[in-house]
Amino acid sequence: MKLLVVGASYRTAPVATLEQLAVPPADLTRTLDRLVAQPYVSEAVLVSTCNRVEVYAAVSGFHGGLGDICAVLGEQAGSTPAALANNLYVHYDTAAVDHVFRVATGLDSMVVGEAQILGQLRDAYHWATGTDSAGRLLHELMQQALRVGKRAHAETGIDRAGQSVVTAALELAAGYLDGDLAGHPALVIGAGAMGSLGVATLSRLGAGPLTVTNRGIDRAVRLAESYGAGAAPMTELAATLSTVDIVVAATASTEPVLTRTVVEAALAERDPSRGPLVLLDLAVPRDVEEGVADLAGVEVIDIDRMAALLADGPAAADAAAVEGIVTGEVESFLTWLRGADVAPTVAALRGRADDVVATELRRLVQRRPDLGDDLRAEVARTVHRVVQRLLHQPTVKVRQLAAEPGGDQYAALLRELFDLQVPQTSPVDTVPDVLSPEIGMPSADGDPASGSDATDPVPPTGGAR
């Protein structure tokens, strides 16, 4: 079984394409089930945020697995694999492990070094565990990826160099408001993880007064009370909008929340001498309708624009240190993978030998019922010793060879030579807890699962594929 990554991110696809590919919480289980139902896909984890949509899969063949995953992504996007081809990237085997570890450490993030991606990976893994779409390979991969991500932030300065996407977006917004958000009234639309991070960051930067609005007003009130902010119903969005200078929009709505009509109504009541109304759209699908950016007195910063503006990364030394961690951890994972692949095969070989010995000893008893118990026991011990000595050197050697590049072929050869049936290893169901260092809660980089509607999604605790 090999690892395959297929996805699209802010590096390869515009927001419009990411919107098509995005998988809302309500569709996550169905999409995972669809993936593992494909002929060449046995395990799957799905990561869907505002900056990326990626499938991590265990596949029995590269071309077959790629075709299966692209078919499901095309179905999700309402498109065809051919139409998506220019926006997708593919990583296989070693390159796939490297990519997942780079994502976990923040090296592949729009804001290099940001730690929010750890919360997103944990959520994706937790969901896959709950739907039983993660098996031995992906359990180990995701647990190691989360560990590597935490190690990178603990052992290097990339944690200081990296910012949250919200922090980076607000720094860009400050450029339109005399370089400082302090004292500027602000509105946060959405009370999920990204909305919470928005309120926390705005409060820390001194913006205010702060207002939170959400489709479910109870959640808006609870979030607002935590930071001494006010809450407003969504029905009064235009009126509230007219009183602020900056807006952070991060809902899970499938339709734009800030339509041209709503923003025009707000501008009509707003004093233009206060400067532009800055709208930060951190949602996928977008919360700000496309035509809003054309309105005079409005500045829209969305994911596409952030990708173009955020050119500065962390210090080279910190990035190089994390790259070194990733390189070493990838090799360690591959060594484990090669060893893990051969261990069940060796166990099956020894089991086959034990079965043969047991069968022959039973035949001996039937042919020579006159043998006493002591003699039968001695014969059994002798035969077992002979078999174990015969197997010892080959099994030690095959374990050594399996740890080398290309070592998986030795396990496959043993299975073929001895016609061994190797059972699947039982999965490990523990999901490591990863917390956002900024607000002390699992967070999402625009994750649709952390939007404004109802409650945060809870993946199922088990079930068939």
Residue type, 35: L
Q: CA–CA separation, 331 vs 337, rounded Å?
A: 10
Q: SS3 for the chain, per residue?
A: CEEEEEEEECCCCCHHHHHHHCCCHHHHHHHHHHHHCCCCEEEEEEEECCCEEEEEEEECCHHHHHHHHHHHHHHHHCCCHHHHHHHCEEEECHHHHHHHHHHHHCCCCCCCCCCHHHHHHHHHHHHHHHCCCCCHHHHHHHHHHHHHHHHHHHHCCHHHHCCCHHHHHHHHHHCCCCCCCCCCCEEEECCCHHHHHHHHHHHHCCCCCEEEEECCHHHHHHHHHHCCCEEEEHHHHHHHHCCCCEEEECCCCCCCCECHHHHHHHHHHCCHHHCCEEEEECCCCCCECHHHHHCCCEEEECHHHHHHHCCCCCCHHHHHHHHHHHHHHHHHHHHHHHHHHHHHHHHHHHHHHHHHHHHHHHHHHHHCCCCCHHHHHHHHHHHHHHHHHHHHHHHHHHHHHHCCCCCHHHHHHHHHHHCCCCCCCCCCCCCCCCCCCCCCCCCCCCCHHHCCCCCCCCCCCCCCC
The residue from 1, 13, 50, 124 that is catalytic is 50
Q: CA–CA separation, 342 vs 375, rounded Å?
A: 37
Q: Is 70 a catalytic residue?
A: no
**Residues taking part in catalysis:** 50
